[in-house]
Amino acid sequence: MKVCIIGGSGHIGKNLVEMLLGDGCRVTLITTGRTPVPTTGKWDTVTLVEQPYGRGNPAWGECLRQLAPEVTIDILGADVPATYEAVRGVSRQLIACGSLWMFGEPRVVPTPEETQNPCEFEGYALRYEELLATRERASADGFPFTAIMPPNICGPGKIPLDGRGGRDIEVHRAHQRGEPVPLPEPGQTLIGPCDAWDIARAFYLAVQHREAAAGEIFNVGSAYALTARQFIETYGHIYGVEIPIEWVSWQEYAERILPDLGANYHFRAHMCPDLTKIGRKLGYVPRYTPEETMERAVDWMRREGML
């Protein structure tokens, strides 16, 4: 099977490539060339195509049409409608990546694959509209289209979410020193770190079960989420220190301590996806718990000399 992955050199993509190569698939990556890929083992069979991809770039679509993969996987998701137009005449399946954030602030948890509230992030809101429109278009065309919606991505290869809502190595060094972390009380917001391996597994299963995945939007994630309090306590356990929590009101937290919406949203909106559908239709079972993937990420930072 010939599979083309857009954004396959990143955190999720590298895990997915390993899975597909293990099945004997012929894998092509469309990449900008800025992120290095492994060159050992079966990776020497991977075809790399350097092609700038993004909204409004006609060369991107033409590149896809020329490659004519049986399966196209768009992890980047920069312009899913354009990707669909490029591959619907040559591919037999398109799988795109979204985000749990696209559903808006959850009304219920675990959160199902449906709109909860208006998405507060312009880029995500636009991409969500495009995912829904592409699914409708693909349904009318009889084309197998699937969207995968991960929560917070964790695991080796990327600095994990820190206690200040970012991915800052200096904040992790402060965690390692046991410095206090401010949190909005009562600290019960759910945070769901999910290992990149588990997210890649969802894409892999969608390839393996094309008919079951067709027309579906699937959540992916860990088996459970941590409260904000547990999230910080887990880092304390991993770093072998006690990290004191300084409790403040939500107003003070959002206005003075962490005013950036993209950062404080982690501690306001529950991120605990309902995995019922992907488990039933694709047999998805997460391998790593939130604690395990956080520890894997910290171990990776240590190996890389960041800590």
Q: How confident is the model at residue 206 (pLDDT cuts 50, 70, 90)?
A: very high
Report yes or no on 297 lying in a domain: no
Q: pLDDT tens digit string along 147-202?
A: 999 999 999 999 999 999 999 999 999 999 999 999 999 999 999 999 999 999 99
Across all residues in the chain, what is the average pLDDT? Answer: 95
Q: pLDDT tens digit string along 209-255?
A: 999 999 999 999 999 999 999 999 999 999 999 999 999 999 999 99
Report yes or no on 231 lying in a domain: no
pLDDT of the residue at 248:
98
Q: Strand 226-227 vs strand 190-191: parallel, antiparallel, or unpaired?
A: antiparallel
Rounded mean pLDDT of 98-117? 98
CATH number of the domain residue 277 falls in = 3.40.50.720
Rounded mean pLDDT of 101-122? 98
pLDDT at position 33 over 80: no
Report yes or no on 207 lying in a domain: yes
Per the structure, the complete domain to which residue 219 belongs is given by: 2-154+193-223+272-288
% of the chain residues with pLDDT over 90:
88
Report yes or no on 180 lying in a domain: no
- The token duo for 89 is 């005449």
Report yes or no on 99 lying in a domain: yes
How many distinct structural domains can be found in the chain?
1
Report yes or no on 302 lying in a domain: no
Report yes or no on 166 lying in a domain: no
pLDDT of the residue at 81:
95
Who wins on pLDDT, 254 or 50?
254
pTM of the shown model: 0.97
Report yes or no on 57 lying in a domain: yes
pLDDT at position 52 over 80: no
Q: How confident is the model at residue 55 (pLDDT cuts 50, 70, 90)?
A: confident
pLDDT of the residue at 269:
97
% of the chain residues with pLDDT over 70:
100
pLDDT of the residue at 286:
98
